[in-house]
Chain A
Amino acid sequence: MANALPARGTPTSESSPAWRNVLRKAYLFTYLRGWLVWSSYRAQVALTLVGWLVPVFLFFLLAVFLGAAGSSIAALDGDSYVAFFVVGLAYQGFVSNLVGLLAQRIRNEQMMGTLEHVFLSPTSPGAVLAYSSLFGIVLNVTATIVILGVGWGVLGVHFAVSLPTVVLATVLLAVSSTGLGLVAAAFIMWTKQGNPVATFFTLFTQFFAGVLFPVSVLPGAVQFLAYSVPLTFGLNALRSGLLQGGSVASNAAPLLWMAVYALVSVPLGLFLFHATLRRTKVDGTIATY
């Protein structure tokens, strides 16, 4: 029996320190499994770009038709309607995609037959989910920048940016949305078909979160519903930070609420995902779709 294998631990990690393994996985998940696979479907790339921009121009033309394109509106804290919906659409897409991202990733892996092999590896399922979300985050950030860029360069939106507020609000929004994304991932592991959590969230936020019109337009009781999602607080902070140069201190309340959402939704999402993963190991349906 020649060349006996090592007795304990991960038998194949002899050559890399841990941080290098983390960076390598981040790169391979983002570039190989993310970008190369995504960009190989050219029609999908074209349709994604169109999907980012069509709603922006749609609502711009509507605003022009109604004569609300360029004027400052008091109900919108003095912003123009175009500036209001550009920020709303940019971040609503960001959040909706993040919520649906992990569920979609799991479904893709189930259909490609790779899910069992990924979950069989020494990389933990939690880490696999974290790495899997990286490309989606990059793509969503790109979409947000593109929409904001079109708003600035093509539609004439004037930005007065407070970078700390925007970065902090974006990070908190991303983390709290990832928590909901974990809930959606747990749901897809259980139900196999459809993505009801992400679909409901997209429809709900489009209507209630102050994306296309201010929350104050909604009836009083419904306004209460609007503040059940972090995007509503996020858009308040982001519009302030992007359009009026609002500081972190002046946006402390919405930022704090998003932090609370993140602290609740991420552990809840992780718990539900692990519980569902365990259930699929009982009934033998990890790779079933």
Chain B
Amino acid sequence: MPSAIEVRDLSKQFPGDRIYPWRPPRPATVALDRVSFEVAPGEVFALIGPNGAGKTTLLKILSTLLLPSSGSAHIRGHDVVSDEAWTRAQIALVTNTERSFYYRLSGWQNLRFFASLYNIAPQVLESRVAPVAESLGLTDEILRRDYRTYSTGMQRKLQFTRAFVLQTPLLFLDEPTSSLDPVSAEEIRHAISAECRGRGQTVLLSANNLLDVERLADRVAIIHRGRLEMIGAPTGAAVERTVRVFVRGTGDVARAAVRGLSSGPIGALAAEWEVEERAGIVAIRAETADVRRVVPALLDHLWREGLAVEQVDLRPFVLEEEFIRRVEASRPEPEEAPSLG
């Protein structure tokens, strides 16, 4: 069975342009840089990253609304560029804006119109809308009102109703709970879980609200400046942990010790090793999915290298911390201010 989504070395560069002939052209922008990942059928896969990281660009390429510059993207084994029409039938998209309906039509009329574009008959639509609208708190009275009278929350819920009733194999969500109050956001998360998990729908979720990711996603990818920085589980409660061992000694000795360890069999069990020295205390940090094997081996190794262990700290993987760490790490150093003297 093919992957629900398969992305290989996907890059997107927006061409630069020149608005006024007497001004220099705006430079081209790299929105995606050789991104690769796969999403299994029925999986909820989240993309997180700071604003402008390339998340929406990726969703739009997969939705056939943008063409990639290079690389490939496949939906259920079909190329999104050469099999564009087929791809469109597989996807429903929820965008992060309320401007995606006709303001002068009612909620019902909007749903009828968009469902007709997917060849859904009215009686089928009615049978699908009723349970979805009920779970989202959209009553029949609300659905019969003009869309222009809807609150932001209602507008977002109507977007979800439209996406759910299409019952496409894939659902793309762009910041699904943005601009929603906590209660409405929780209703939306609950509805996504119930609708998509219940039908085995594959979900690609782009989010800035990490609560959405932790509640909904099976896996998460951190994307920053168009590059995929990491793919992992959204919460490490059962899977990943960060191990930090504080030792007394010098950073050079600790680094040499870690080098020795990370090049051996234990080293392969941890995704990353870092050494940080501050005020005579050296913190050795490892990210691992196998704490039981890594910690004793690490302590044994450090003891043999003559480093006195002061403290061992086991912390669950916290997505928000990881996100901030990755983004901060790739932030360029500030340029030195020119000397005035």
Contact = CB atoms under 8 A, between A and B. Distances in A.
Nearest to A2: B198
A286 B88 CA distance: 16
Given A21-B119, A25-B116, A114-B102, A32 B109 contact: yes
B255 interface: no
Interface string A268-285: 000000000010011110
| Dominant secondary structure at the B interface | loop
Interface string B12-32: 001101000000000000000
The interface centre, meaning the residue of B57, B100, B200 with most chain A CB atoms within 10 A of its CB, is B100
B79 to A, nearest CB: 15
Interface string B96-135: 0101111111000100111111111111100000000000
A107 to B, nearest CB: 14
A281 B87 CA distance: 15
Given A3-B199, A117-B100, A120-B65, A32 B105 contact: yes
Nearest to B172: A120
A5 B199 contact: yes
A282 to B, nearest CB: 5
A225 to B, nearest CB: 31
Contacts of B67: 278, 281-282
A122 B89 contact: yes
Interface stretch (A6-14, A192-200, A255-263): A6-14
B167 interface: yes
B14 to A, nearest CB: 6
Given A13-B119, A25-B116, A283 B99 contact: no
B249 interface: no
Interface string A98-119: 0000000000000011101111
Interface size class of B (residues with CB under 8 A): 35 or more
Contacts of A114: 99-102
B200 A33 contact: no
Contact of A3 (B95, B124, B198): B198
B65 A25 contact: no
Q: Specify which of A112, A116, A122, A283 lies most central, judged by the most chain B CB atoms within 10 Å of its CB.
A: A122
Contacts of B124: 12, 14-15
A282 B29 CA distance: 12
A16 B167 CA distance: 16
Contact of B168 (A12, A29, A281, A282): A12
A28 interface: yes
Contacts, number: 132
Contact of A12 (B93, B102, B103, B119): B119
A37 B112 CA distance: 14
A11 to B, nearest CB: 6
Nearest to B42: A1
Given A33-B102, A114-B100, A117-B100, A283 B15 contact: yes
B168 A113 contact: no
B208 to A, nearest CB: 20
A125 to B, nearest CB: 10
A15 B116 CA distance: 12
A120 B109 contact: no
B166 A286 contact: no
A124 interface: yes
A113 B94 CA distance: 12
A286 B100 CA distance: 14
Interface in A11-46: 11-16, 20-21, 24-25, 28-29, 32-33, 36-37, 40-41
Interface of A: 1-7, 9-16, 20-21, 24-25, 28-29, 32-33, 36-37, 40-41, 112-114, 116-124, 128, 278, 281-284, 286
Interface of B: 14-15, 17, 42, 57, 60, 63-67, 76, 85-86, 88-91, 93, 95, 97, 99-105, 109, 112-124, 166-169, 198-201
27 contacts: A2-B200, A3-B199, A4-B200, A5-B168, A5-B200, A7-B76, A10-B89, A11-B168, A12-B166, A13-B119, A32-B105, A36-B104, A36-B109, A37-B105, A112-B102, A112-B103, A113-B100, A114-B100, A118-B117, A120-B63, A122-B89, A123-B118, A124-B85, A281-B65, A284-B57, A284-B66, A286-B65
In the complex, the 10 A-B pairs of residues with the closest C-beta atoms, listed nearest first: A113-B99, A121-B117, A1-B200, A13-B119, A122-B89, A15-B121, A10-B89, A40-B104, A281-B67, A123-B117
